[in-house]
Amino acid sequence: MPKTVILSAARTPIGKLGGGLSTVDATDLGATAIKAALERAEVQPDQVQHVVMGQVLQAGQGQIPSRQAQIKSGIPKEVSSETINKVCASGIRSACLLDNAIRLGDLDVGVAGGMESMSKAPYMLKEARFGFRMGDGKAIDAMVNDGLTNPFSGKHMAQEASEVASELELTRPDMDRWALRSHQRAVKATDEGRLPEEIVSVSVKGKKGDTVVEVDEGPRREASLEALAKLPPIFIKDGSHTAGNSPGVNDGAGALVVSSDEWAKRNGRPALATIVAHAQVADDFPYLARTPALAARKALEKAGLSTDDIDLWEINEAFASVTLNSIRTLGIDEEKVNVNGGAVALGHPIGASGARILGALILELRRRGGGLGCAAICSGGGQGDAVIVEVNGG
């Protein structure tokens, strides 16, 4: 059975809601990331055999957004494509689907990733098709409805996270401390060139000419515990979650070129990483904070590894509470986790974040001379995914 390797990773900058990328279609962001990943892997578009891209907010996007991104990136129309929606885990699950296909011998090389424009999510008029008989209509925010709300309870994800925080013994001061760390690490990684290594710039058309977005818009140099402590709770009066210890609403995309080890050797393409194992879990709906650790444990068990074997972790900061609970549950050293900042600082374009954290993990392991890494993420509906990779250095 062939092994699956990752040949390259690339992502766009992450833009704020209404920020520098807000006018760019999600499929254009996806195409930019795909094209950059192919160039970094030195893989030609016509060598790609399949494309899997995650996207959550597909309302108004048009048919099969992954195929739109594929064609815009230059990959031929004869290449097949699929779009996956596993909420925040979409981008990471796309790589796992390619891994499964490669191990089965269904294909040799493909592109995985995710894309999201939360800024361009439309408002919906669900009753408009057959007319409003009387009274006012209601415009439904597709971003909140399709991406940020538990369909079973009708509650916003942040509200549910706050409701279970005390049960999980997660405190506001600890969350604020982690949020500050996220910003400080992201600013430092930007200044020292580590985050820019991940990024491909995006040219944005405007009435006064094109502008180029090349850095993440979220990290705050001025972040402080004092400022974070002044922010009011969101959704729950005495809750622990605030806008400061939660991620933003964002735009961005990421992509990875994935192949069999045999194809890479035949074509003289060096592998960045080997996929060792991956796992999916599901839990009760409000307990998002538990699922990354549960998925990581399941993946470790499949690989015959322990937490002590993992050199670096990327645990998506869906909220600071998620990462903190994962660290505590797994019993791992926080100095090995999100070493260049996380989604609280960088942002969380939901369909793309899984691809971002997987790419970030691989590139940082390579800088450190290799090792084993685990990327883990929670997703809406009470689910979680994790992927373990091995990097040989270089």
For residue 80, list its beta bridge partners: 50
Which amino acid makes up residue 237?
Answer: K
Q: Output the pTM of the full model.
A: 0.97
Give percent above pLDDT 70 in the chain.
Answer: 99
- Which residue's entry shows tokens 């903190």? 324
Residue 184: closest CA among 225, 232, 243: 225
Question: Out of 50, 88, 183, 241, which one is annotated catalytic?
Answer: 88
User: What span, in angstroms and rounded, lies between the C-alpha atoms of 317 and 298?
Assistant: 20
pLDDT score at 134:
84
Assess whether pLDDT exceeds 70 at residue 114: yes
**Is 96 a known active-site residue?**
no
Find the mean pLDDT for residues 63-84: 99
Assess whether pLDDT exceeds 70 at residue 140: yes
The tokens for 297 are 């444990």
CB-based contact 94:379 (threshold 8 Å): no
Residue 261: closest CA among 246, 276, 279: 276
Cβ neighbours around 334 below 10 Å, total: 15
Find the mean pLDDT for residues 16-20: 98
Exposure string (b/e) for 205-243, b if CB count within 10 Å is 16 or more? eeeeeeeebeebbbbbeebeeeebeebeebeeeebbbbe
Give the pLDDT confidence of 336-364 residue by residue, as tens digits. Answer: 999 999 999 999 999 999 999 999 999 99
pLDDT score at 237:
86
Assess whether pLDDT exceeds 60 at residue 25: yes
What DSSP string runs through 23-64? TS-HHHHHHHHHHHHHHHHT--GGG--EEEEE-S--TTS-S-
Give the pLDDT confidence of 193-240 residue by residue, as tens digits. Answer: 999 999 999 999 988 889 999 999 999 999 999 999 999 999 888 889
Find the mean pLDDT for residues 85-91: 98
3-state class (DSSP) for residue 174? helix
**Could you tell me the fold of the domain covering 4-120+248-388?**
Peroxisomal Thiolase; Chain A, domain 1 (3.40.47)
3-state class (DSSP) for residue 315? strand
Assess whether pLDDT exceeds 60 at residue 85: yes
**Is 156 a known active-site residue?**
no
Instruction: Provide the residue ranges of all domains of the chain, joining segments of one domain with +.
Output: 4-120+248-388
CB-based contact 59:123 (threshold 8 Å): no
Give percent above pLDDT 90 in the chain.
Answer: 90
pLDDT score at 219:
98
Rounded to the nearest integer, the mean pLDDT of the chain is 97
**Is 374 a known active-site residue?**
no
User: How many Cα neighbours within 13 Å face the side chain of 15?
Assistant: 29
pLDDT score at 340:
99
Residue 379: closest CA among 291, 298, 297, 277: 291
Question: Out of 183, 241, 348, 374, which one is annotated catalytic?
Answer: 348
CB-based contact 70:253 (threshold 8 Å): no
pLDDT score at 394:
57
Find the mean pLDDT for residues 56-85: 98
Angle, CA of 233, 234 and 236, to the nearest 5°: 80
- Cα torsion at 50, 384, 87, 68 (round to 10°)? -10
Assess whether pLDDT exceeds 90 at residue 312: yes
Q: Which residues contact 259 (CB under 8 A, 6 or more apart)?
A: 4, 5, 7, 43, 102, 108, 109, 110, 269
Find the mean pLDDT for residues 137-158: 94
Cβ neighbours around 168 below 10 Å, total: 16
